Amino acid sequence: MSELEFVSPVASGPLSAAGGGISLEDVSDRTKVLVRAGRDTAAGTHLKVTYGRSRRRRDGALICGSRPDEWTLLADPGQGTELLASLPDEGFVSVVDITHGRAMFRLSGLDTVGVLAKVCNIDLTDDMTPDGAVFSGSVAKVTCDLVRNDLADRRSYLVSCERSFGAYLFAAIADACSEFGIDVPADLTIH
Amino acid sequence: MIVVPCPNCGPRNSSDLRNAGEVAPRPDPETASLTEWRSYLYLRENPAGWVTETWYCRSGCRRYFTIERNTATNEIRESENS
């Protein structure tokens, strides 16, 4: 799968508000690898992250504890083969490159909580979802996996969903951003 | 809104979950009579009071778990993984 050219489900480029309060970027081309394994397997021990948390590995891959006994690894585009090879596969372990099956967006800026609060029912306060938190929930009626992955100077979330919902979800989040200063292109309107 | 405590995710809006109904012990397939199978498949107590239910955390951890819920007041007192 990794050798296939990646075609994003989203046709639009990054969107950002003039004041810098919010930006929305399609990062669907990032490598995504799903691991299912018992915590007592070599893979579970290697990944080490509990459900609901994430950590950055030395090679730059972000390891997310996306469900009990399930992890999602996120890395730069084209890293699928390397990621798959880096994981121990002894025991009852499933490792699948899901890069082409998932869409992913990065929402960042001061107004991210305000935008997500319009379309998501998760409590986004720092004590419930601090930097590094991994959680799932409905975003604009689409079941999504979210990672709070703050950048150096601003709050940021990675939002991923099934690829087939990608175009709709990008447009729906862009629509929610319009209240915070983003000019939504005409081809992204959902009304 | 009913807040349901998922043992893995914590308290969640019930719209994030699915109620899979009362817990009914499965009869032994080797010895169960037709009446017992029918009772297992179709009949439930449905009390106005405390009941043990299975719920599915469809938006979160995607695990089944059981809770004790009062169907008259929606008070919930325990949850654990199935």
Determine the Cα–Cα distance for residues A19 and A179; give it in Å rounded to an integer. Answer: 13
Nearest chain B residue to A137 by CA distance is B59
A1 assigned to some structural domain: no
Task: Give A141's contacts (C-beta < 8 A, 6+ positions apart).
Answer: none
Residue numbers of the domain that contains A153: 15-180
- Distance between CA atoms of residues A181 and A102, nearest Å: 28
What is the least distance, in Å, from the CA of B28 to any CA of chain A? 29
State the maximum Cα–Cα separation within chain A, in Å, rounded to a whole number: 52
Chain A interface, best mutation among B3, B15, B16, B56, by max A CB count within 10 A:
B16
Q: What is the pTM of this model?
A: 0.88
Domain assignment present for A139: yes
Q: Is residue A72 part of a domain?
A: yes
Q: Which of B15, B16, B61 is opposite residue A67, by nearest beta carbon?
A: B61
The pLDDT of residue B66:
95
Give the mean pLDDT of B4-18.
92
Q: How far is CA B68 from CA A126, B23, B52, B53, in A?
A: 31, 10, 4, 6
Domain count, chain A: 1
Inside any domain, residue A80 = yes
Which of B8, B59, B62 shows the shortest C-beta gap to A137? Answer: B59
CB count in 10 Å sphere of residue B26: 10
pLDDT reported for residue A3: 67
Q: Say which residues have a Cβ less than 8 Å from residue B22's Cβ, sequence separation at least 6.
A: B44, B45, B46, B51, B52, B53, B54
| pLDDT (average), residues B14-21 | 93
Residue % of chain B over a pLDDT of 90: 84
Q: Is residue A189 part of a domain?
A: no
Q: How many CB pairs under 8 A join A and B?
A: 27
Q: How many CA atoms lie within 13 A of B14 on its CB side?
A: 13
Domains of chain B: 3-81 (3.30.2270.10)
Instruction: Say yes or no: ipTM exceeds 0.90.
Output: no
Which residues, given as ranges, of chain A have pLDDT below 50? none
Which residues in chain B are contacts of A138 at CB distance < 8 A? 15-16, 59
CATH number for the domain harbouring residue A175: 3.30.1360.120
- Specify if A102 maps to a domain: yes
Nearest by CB to A136, from B13, B15, B59: name it. Answer: B59
- Enumerate chain B positions whose Cβ falls within 8 A of a Cβ in A: 8-9, 13, 15-16, 58-63
- For residues A112 and A16, the answer to whether their CB atoms sit within 8 Å is no
Mean pLDDT across B50-61: 94
Q: Which pLDDT belongs to residue A11?
A: 85
Q: What is the pLDDT of residue A178?
A: 92
